[in-house]
Amino acid sequence: MSLIVQKYGGTSVGTLQRIRNVAARAVAAHRAGHRVVVTVSAMSGETNRLVALVDELSGGNYSQREYDVVVATGEQVSIGLLAIAIEGLGVPARSYQGWQVRFVTDSVHAKARILDVEAANILADLDQGRIVVVAGFQGVDANGAVTTLGRGGSDTSAVALAAALNADFCDIYTDVDGVYTTDPRVVPKARKLERVSYEEMLEMASLGAKVLQTRSVELAKKYKVPVRVLSSLEEGTGTLLTEEDELMEQVVVSAIAFNRDEAKITVLGVPDKPGVAAMIFGTLADANINVDMIVQNISAQSGDTDVTFTVAKGEYKQALAVLKDPVAAMGAKNLLGDPDIAKVSVVGVGMRSHSGVAQRMFKALSRDNINIRMISTSEIKISVVIDEKYMELAVRSLHEAFELDKDAGDRVRD
Amino acid sequence: MSLIVQKYGGTSVGTLQRIRNVAARAVAAHRAGHRVVVTVSAMSGETNRLVALVDELSGGNYSQREYDVVVATGEQVSIGLLAIAIEGLGVPARSYQGWQVRFVTDSVHAKARILDVEAANILADLDQGRIVVVAGFQGVDANGAVTTLGRGGSDTSAVALAAALNADFCDIYTDVDGVYTTDPRVVPKARKLERVSYEEMLEMASLGAKVLQTRSVELAKKYKVPVRVLSSLEEGTGTLLTEEDELMEQVVVSAIAFNRDEAKITVLGVPDKPGVAAMIFGTLADANINVDMIVQNISAQSGDTDVTFTVAKGEYKQALAVLKDPVAAMGAKNLLGDPDIAKVSVVGVGMRSHSGVAQRMFKALSRDNINIRMISTSEIKISVVIDEKYMELAVRSLHEAFELDKDAGDRVRD
């Protein structure tokens, strides 16, 4: 008998029939002898409807505290309905809002972070044979105000709850049946991974793979929560997120991630003196613009330096605007930008103990005449920025170069 | 400087523009120097939408606890939006759900009763210059479960809050501009009452006048809360609910109430022995059918007795069905029913010290050839049951007979 936390997103509870399906799945696990806690999001479209009400009412200028009061109702409706649907199948159920669990968070409304999960009441309900239904996405701060975790926060709720309950599994139900070596829409030969390490999943999430929210993976890694990514539409074993040393097939590269939602900005001919980078990135931070990759090279001839970085496409124009005057003031030669880029990354914990990955990656891209505009590496990933139009080609090329369509045992090692 | 609790129903917050209007009204009172607490219902249609979701999902068979979780979201959306609208007008605001206030209730979900209101945090917010926005209709029980007070419970929330805060006024905003001598749609000459006693309002509410919920009037009476019934559409002084001894014009009859939502049932020829009435009304109570008027007469000749009573039209058929067998078993001669009746009542605290009201009432009805089928009296009201088709005629006739269209000083006294 396991304790299982199941998490269903908004699409999975988007209609009353789908809520019945989720109830049936939870009841099936319960009848199989498991102790079952279900975390759900708002019915799809509901959060958008609520946000639109707030926006239309306020013209975008509103108290985040009250925003949270309004949008938290989305999950509240879902948990009540799901509990009713479960009881309709003959199993006692009880719903919990964030403040009832309690999910204690900080007071940063609309993007609160979970500080503590007090789940004693949930354990008592499970002991009494109930299925427990918990609202994802929401919590309560020290003052008793309702908070929300921000978009995608339901994954984080589920993992935090699984950690607090010391659950055997945290099952995240999605519209895909697991984590793939890359997006199957780009590479039809992409393979589902049976297991993937927290670190790899973390890189993949932050590199733009949409399966799990980065924060939820960080939390799963921290508390070693066994997370399974499963399909809400069909049966299957999904993908298990696990610790590195439990990976059965120690492959070099696990997956190819990509992200076309970034834009590139270059400050050309910056005087090479202390404080210049601080000024550029301080300006962006003040404007709440997140920077992803940063590359700086010193020109041997001029003594000047070029700084290139990427930002989200949605913040590209604003970034150029806020940098214009400061960059001129510091005597830089030019400020250039390019929104038509994409980032492609190879990810794998095996890189830690294997060399030659970068070489194989660059060779593959070169073979297809794809020019590399930026390179950035971490311990377990190599990312390159290329022209956006080559993105699919690059992903396919790399997927083939690292033989990700083959079983790990059949691949050529460097 | 007064402390004012304002209450707005679902129609008053039914659109974003109307929410802005409510915000403007609250802010105007705040700027006039008052301490303002606003209680609101769900946006009109929202509670029905949520109830329909529950009904469709469950086929009507559901946990009341989870029903409350779902429907309580209606008010939660309203308070968040209203707080945002108030802040948009430049006054700091803070919303409170039932569990945040806290409105402590019993655990009778969907029709909970308020046990206590802990309003210390609200007073602290008022001290800091905030307008406080409170969700009507909802509370929390001793186990921390969300409860709702049942339809119309927002009036009760407002009055309970006004009592707990020792408010100077509890202003109930409605779609009428006060309490009238009778429904102006039936009698165009109906006059607005400046003041009405709690007792009269209580009778009028229980007799079918829809202005205020009975429970809220009971609560106002118990705690002597000065309630004003005001229009949310236009300025005006409305009607003040007050104690009897504060009434300026001690009139005999204040208003004519009516209710066409009742049906009449007669058990004919019941053996006149102990336990018969207990059996009839015990059977109805077991079936959760509420009985309003009851009349019993002993026939001098036969020694039998006839029992007549009224029930809500919606429960009429069920009442006949559950009574059929027991009535036959007790040897009654017949079970008769008539759904086409109406109840018309004259209400006035002046009846306590004046005789002749009944006589004037029966004379007026007789003049218009309206047959009286049942009579029932209390200290401050006389109700008659008549054929439904005569209802409007009876109301107009009585309104004229008691000169309710005239100023109290101009009326003829008995």
Instruction: Give per-residue pLDDT as tens, B289-333.
Output: 888 888 887 766 677 888 899 999 999 999 999 999 999 988 888
pLDDT value at residue B105 = 96
**In this predicted model, which residue has the larger pLDDT, A134 or B374?**
A134
B122/B132 Cα distance (integer angstroms): 7
Three-state DSSP state, A228: strand
Mean pLDDT, rounded, of chain A: 91
**In this predicted model, which residue has the larger pLDDT, A398 or A246?**
A398
Mean pLDDT of A49-55: 95
Q: How confident is the model at residue A297 (pLDDT cuts 50, 70, 90)?
A: confident
pLDDT value at residue A301 = 67
Mean pLDDT of B136-159: 92
Mean pLDDT, rounded, of chain B: 91
pLDDT value at residue B162 = 97
pLDDT value at residue A354 = 77
Residue entry with tokens 């929410």: B19
> Residues with Cβ < 8 Å from B331, sequence gap 6 or more?
B270, B271
User: Using the beta-carbon criterion (under 8 Å), do B62 and A88 form an inter-chain contact?
Assistant: yes
For residue B285, pLDDT beyond 80: yes
B81/B87 Cα distance (integer angstroms): 10
pLDDT value at residue B301 = 67
**In this predicted model, which residue has the larger pLDDT, B170 or B414?**
B170
A3, A165 Cβ separation under 8 angstroms: yes
Token pair of A10 as six digits: 């908004």
Q: How confident is the model at residue A403 (pLDDT cuts 50, 70, 90)?
A: very high
pLDDT value at residue A120 = 93
* Interface contact A353, partner B, CB < 8 A: no
Closest CA to A132 of A119, A118, A120, A122: A122
Q: Which residues of B touch A57 (CB under 8 A)?
A: 16, 19-20, 81, 84-85, 88
> Which domains are delineated in chain A?
3-174 (3.40.1160.10), 246-414 (3.30.2130.10)
For residue A351, pLDDT beyond 60: yes
B40, B133 Cβ separation under 8 angstroms: yes
User: Using the beta-carbon criterion (under 8 Å), do B84 and A58 form an inter-chain contact?
Assistant: yes
Of B53, B81, B144, the CB nearest to A16: B53
pLDDT value at residue A352 = 79
pLDDT value at residue A309 = 92
User: Using the beta-carbon criterion (under 8 Å), do A56 and B85 form an inter-chain contact?
Assistant: no
Residue entry with tokens 């118990």: B222
Closest CA to B87 of A68, A65, A71: A65
Mean pLDDT of B257-270: 91
pLDDT in tens, A171-224: 999 888 899 999 999 999 999 999 999 999 988 887 766 788 888 999 999 999
* Interface contact B110, partner A, CB < 8 A: no
Cα-based distances in Å from A150 to A41, A153, A311, A337, B276: 12, 5, 20, 30, 65
User: Using the beta-carbon criterion (under 8 Å), do A84 and B16 form an inter-chain contact?
Assistant: no
User: Using the beta-carbon criterion (under 8 Å), do A94 and B56 form an inter-chain contact?
Assistant: no
pLDDT in tens, A99-152: 999 999 999 999 899 999 999 999 999 999 999 999 999 999 999 999 999 767
Token pair of A90 as six digits: 């003959």
Mean pLDDT of A58-85: 96
For residue B246, pLDDT beyond 70: no
Can you spell out the DSSP letters for B142-167?
TTS-EEE--TTHHHHHHHHHHHHTT-
Three-state DSSP state, A7: strand
Closest CA to A6 of B26, A24, A80, B3: A24
Q: Which has the minimum average pLDDT: A13-22, A400-409, B271-280? A: B271-280
A114/A153 Cα distance (integer angstroms): 10
Q: How confident is the model at residue B217 (pLDDT cuts 50, 70, 90)?
A: very high
pLDDT value at residue A141 = 96
Mean pLDDT of B188-209: 87
